[in-house]
């Protein structure tokens, strides 16, 4: 069994202890994660701090070239990364799975490499000249989740590096191996210490977020953990980018065609088996087409093959871990006990691994846990409504505010109602379709700051105003 290593200061670093990483499709051990100590963390931060002194002064063109080189390394090692990702995360190689994720990581890296933050001239007249410069912050601490580990690692690392920062990344202990390998191949084209990886249990993440050598934390994960990261940043006033949990509402207007929107609704909800922050998690459907939408969704769901991620025929795989598997099961059982009508699915699959089928639950409403809480798995509540203004107000009562969508044959009408949803991103006749040039982030308890594009790159800089 392969034992992976920490990687910092441009070198692999072995540890005294390791932990097994298991395939959620089979339970088999696929590798061993190194367990970093606080001393290892100190050394990684020191390596990043030393590298920052040089990297922050590297010309823009060289940093762009380095990010382009990272993209080429991802492309050259794409299949290896996809295979490793499937082994530890469970998602299929095909469909919107591991190869799709590596493709996304590549696309975001290439786009970010070409971004620029030119000097802004705020004033230039007889009274003086005022320039706004953007400068790198320092060492960036990154904590990434288990649902899209490679792509989110690139979302954190590449803009930080492009802006002139250095990075210490700590991936989820459930999916650390693909991130370790990603950092190794990045180091083939980066100076030592620019990107470093530390792995271990959650305690090492807490130590990272409170470390006085870290100038900024970027975190993707649950709202509750995000609050802890924010609290730990107080002592040193770390800058923060937090992309936190969502409970995205999708609202179907009465003029929508159920057959036409079923596929978009399905993948809006069940991309990555529903294990996506900005997945559609509450579906509100007008009474006049409610049963037709339920029927169309159930028919589409029945055609999607679920299986081991290494099987080229699989389109969806298992839930990634036991804790999330049990939560989905509890929420569906609670919905059923409170009058929910199970259209498809509704019970664990009879096979090894954390397999839970696509589950559609009709006839539920607010007050049922599956509606009020983020399920983060393959179960979707479908809620009936009659008054559009009332349903928008009800959708907005949730404390989360990451994404939302409106579905209609009239795009103008959909846009009118979409603008009333309290969320950071809103889609018309689709859901969750993020892209590298469109800023992405949450409002309310779904986060602080944005990622992607020039606005996301600015998050990794400080402003210096030059007056002359």
Instruction: Kindly report, residue by residue over 410-432, the tens digit of the pLDDT.
Output: 999 999 999 999 999 999 999 99
Which pLDDT score, from 0 to 100, does residue 1 have?
79
Which pLDDT score, from 0 to 100, does residue 179 have?
98
Which pLDDT score, from 0 to 100, does residue 119 have?
96
Which pLDDT score, from 0 to 100, does residue 15 have?
97
Q: Residues 401, 423: contact at Cβ < 8 Å?
A: yes
- In the set 277, 294, 374, 451, the catalytic residue is 277
Rg (CA), the chain: 23
Which pLDDT score, from 0 to 100, does residue 53 have?
98
Mean pLDDT of 75-102: 98
- In the set 243, 374, 451, 459, the catalytic residue is 243
pTM over 0.95, yes/no: yes
d(CA 145, CA 150) in angstroms, rounded, equals: 10
Mean pLDDT of 226-249: 97
Mean pLDDT of 333-349: 98
Which pLDDT score, from 0 to 100, does residue 54 have?
98
Which pLDDT score, from 0 to 100, does residue 284 have?
99
- Non-local (6+) Cβ contacts of 272 within 8 A are 91, 96, 97, 147, 148, 279
d(CA 448, CA 154) in angstroms, rounded, equals: 19
Which pLDDT score, from 0 to 100, does residue 444 have?
98
User: Is pLDDT at 136 greater than 90 in this prediction?
Assistant: yes
d(CA 223, CA 446) in angstroms, rounded, equals: 7
Residue-wise pLDDT tens digits, 41-51: 999 999 999 99
User: Known catalytic residue: 224?
Assistant: no
User: Known catalytic residue: 374?
Assistant: no
């Amino acid at each position: 069994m392969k034992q992976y290593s920490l990687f910092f200061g441009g070198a692999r670093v072995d540890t005294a202890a390791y932990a097994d990483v298991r395939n959620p499709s089979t339970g088999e051990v696929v590798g061993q994660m190194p367990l970093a100590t606080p001393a290892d963390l100190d050394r990684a931060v020191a390596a990043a701090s030393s590298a920052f002194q040089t990297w922050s002064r590297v010309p823009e063109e060289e940093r762009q070239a380095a990010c382009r080189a990272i993209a080429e390394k991802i492309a050259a090692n794409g299949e290896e990364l996809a295979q490793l990702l499937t082994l530890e995360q469970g998602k299929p190689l095909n469909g919107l799975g591991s190869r799709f994720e590596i493709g996304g990581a590549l696309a975001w890296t290439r786009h970010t490499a070409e971004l620029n933050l030119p000097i802004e001239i705020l004033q230039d007249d007889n009274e003086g000249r005022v320039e706004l410069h953007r400068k790198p912050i320092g060492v960036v601490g990154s904590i990434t989740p288990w649902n899209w580990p490679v792509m989110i690692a690139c979302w954190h690392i590449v803009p930080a590096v492009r802006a002139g920062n250095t990075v210490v990344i700590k991936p989820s202990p459930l999916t650390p191996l693909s991130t370790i390998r990603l950092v190794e191949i990045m180091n083939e084209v980066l100076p030592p210490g620019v990107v470093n990886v530390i792995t271990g249990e959650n305690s090492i993440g807490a130590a990272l977020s409170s470390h006085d050598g870290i100038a900024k934390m970027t975190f993707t994960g649950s709202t509750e953990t995000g609050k802890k990261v924010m609290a730990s940043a107080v002592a040193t006033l770390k800058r923060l980018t937090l992309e936190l949990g969502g409970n995205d509402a999708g609202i179907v207007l009465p003029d929508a065609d159920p057959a036409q929107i079923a596929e978009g609704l399905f993948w809006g909800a069940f991309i990555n088996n529903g294990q996506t922050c900005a997945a559609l998690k509450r579906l509100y459907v007008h009474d006049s087409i409610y049963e037709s939408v339920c029927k169309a969704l159930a028919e589409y769901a029945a055609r999607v093959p679920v299986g081991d991620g290494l099987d080229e025929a699989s389109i969806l795989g298992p839930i990634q871990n036991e804790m999330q598997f049990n939560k989905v099961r509890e929420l569906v059982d609670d919905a059923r006990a409170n009058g929910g009508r199970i259209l498809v699915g509704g019970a664990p699959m009879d096979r090894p691994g954390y397999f839970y089928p696509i589950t559609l639950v009709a006839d539920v409403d607010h007050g049922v846990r599956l509606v009020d809480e983020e399920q983060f798995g393959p179960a979707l509540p479908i809620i009936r409504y009659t008054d559009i203004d009332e349903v928008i107000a009800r959708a907005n009562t949730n404390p989360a505010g990451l994404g939302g969508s409106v579905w209609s044959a009239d795009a103008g009408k959909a846009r009118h109602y979409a603008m009333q949803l309290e969320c950071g991103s809103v889609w018309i006749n689709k859901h969750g379709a993020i892209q590298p040039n469109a800023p992405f982030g949450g409002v309310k308890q779904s986060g602080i700051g944005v990622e992607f594009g020039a606005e996301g790159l600015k998050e990794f800089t400080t402003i210096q105003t030059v007056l002359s």
